[in-house]
């Protein structure tokens, strides 16, 4: 008999290691906080929404790739989904750190000085949300492999 499996985040939650749940919660909280900052500053400073939208789109792509930093797998010992950093993930982490350090300089080459803050923060929001989406996709894949999800 095939277990119908979890359908929502609350149903997936019991299958996740505590540190993985905390990591996802932090990424999502940062994405929402920074996203709120972007919306507020965009309206307050009359910055065109295209900069924020483009920043989030670019950030989503970067964040989705950066989610590869963590190797998501099933732990037989814990009977939960866990995350580890593998060798490939260390290389992505190094590139990610370099991007974060030089983010404002990189963004400053493409947008006006007045728009750099909003655009760079929208990229950061996109990165955090992209990481959540990427890790969630890996979790769903592992749960399907374990026949805990359809």
Q: What is the pLDDT of residue 111?
A: 86
Q: What is the pLDDT of residue 6?
A: 47
How many domains are there within the chain?
A: 1
Pick the residue with more confidence: 57 or 11?
Answer: 57
For residue 33, pLDDT over 60 is answered with yes
For residue 9, pLDDT over 80 is answered with no
For residue 5, pLDDT over 70 is answered with no
Mean pLDDT for the stretch of residues 110-137: 89
- Domain annotation covers residue 52: yes
Q: Which domain holds residue 129?
A: 14-145
Mean pLDDT for the stretch of residues 85-104: 81
Q: What is the pLDDT of residue 34?
A: 92
- Domain annotation covers residue 112: yes
Total-model pTM: 0.82
Q: What is the pLDDT of residue 150?
A: 72
- Domain annotation covers residue 86: yes
- Domain annotation covers residue 150: no
- Domain annotation covers residue 122: yes
Q: What percent of the chain shows pLDDT beyond 70?
A: 93
Degrees to nearest 5, angle at CA 130 with 102 and 48: 65
Give 38-72 pLDDT, tens digit per residue: 999 888 888 888 989 999 999 999 999 888 888 89
- Domain annotation covers residue 3: no
- Domain annotation covers residue 7: no
- Domain annotation covers residue 123: yes
Environment class of residue 17 by beta-carbon count within 10 Å: exposed (0-12), middle (13-18) or buried (19+)? middle
């Amino acid at each position: 008999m095939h277990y119908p499996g979890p359908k929502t985040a609350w149903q997936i939650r019991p299958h996740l290691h505590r540190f993985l749940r905390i990591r996802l919660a932090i990424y999502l909280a940062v994405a929402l906080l920074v996203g709120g900052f972007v919306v507020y500053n965009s309206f307050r400073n009359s910055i065109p929404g295209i900069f924020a939208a483009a920043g989030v789109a670019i950030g989503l792509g970067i964040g989705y790739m950066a989610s590869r930093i963590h190797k998501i797998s099933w732990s037989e010992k814990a009977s939960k989904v866990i995350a580890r950093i593998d060798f490939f993930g260390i290389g992505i982490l190094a590139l990610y750190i370099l991007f974060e350090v030089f983010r404002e300089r990189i963004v400053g080459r493409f947008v006006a000085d007045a728009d750099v803050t909003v655009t760079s923060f929208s990229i950061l929001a996109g990165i955090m949300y992209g990481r959540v989406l990427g890790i969630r996709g890996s979790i769903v894949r592992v749960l399907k492999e374990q026949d805990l999800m359809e």
